[in-house]
Amino acid sequence: MADSAAAPAAVPPAAPQGAALRAVLSTISDVTSAREEEYLAVRDVNQYSVEIHKKYTLSVACLSFVVIGIALALRFPRGGIGLVIGGSLVLFALFYVSLTAGESLADRGIVSAWFAMWLPNVVVLLAGVVGLIRVNREFGSTRGGDLGDLAELFLGWLRRKRRGEG
């Protein structure tokens, strides 16, 4: 009998099988504490998700910057090194600012981590592709060696490979 008196007085009843377990919040401080814990947990999840996406997007950003660098170098082939370097620095600054702003928004849960981290990368890549297309249209016929020639070189190599010549 002494053992039963030492047992806790408020043992919650066993939940039926398959029923969700719910926390019993009896006071305002319990509710406030639970909300704060939930907020901190969601914030941590957002921050970890941002870091995961940032690792991948920074790796792919190197390729995006190569594409836009090629477009800038082809657009200003001679004497425009200052313009190319200045343009590259401006593009990098815009990329960095948008990446940092997106990180802040995603950490607070305003936008998704995927959207915030990949949008600057997509914008830079699209700008590079548009730049390459414009350079190809403007200079392709007068300079030779345009993107059409590169595609034909690659397709010719594939044709030779299929015939067994390469």
Q: What is the pLDDT of residue 32?
A: 84
- Residue the block writes with tokens 């991948």: 56
Q: Which residues of the chain have pLDDT under 50?
A: 1, 141
CB-CB contact of 111 with 47 (8 Å): no
Q: What is the pLDDT of residue 35?
A: 86
Q: What is the pLDDT of residue 100?
A: 93
Q: Residue 64: which of 87, 43, 91, 28 has the closest Cα?
A: 91
Per this entry, what is the length of the chain?
Answer: 166
Q: What is the pLDDT of residue 54?
A: 92
Q: What is the pLDDT of residue 118?
A: 93
- Residue the block writes with tokens 């019993």: 24
Q: How does pLDDT run across 72-118, given as a tens digit for each residue?
A: 878 777 666 777 778 888 889 999 999 999 999 998 889 999 999 99
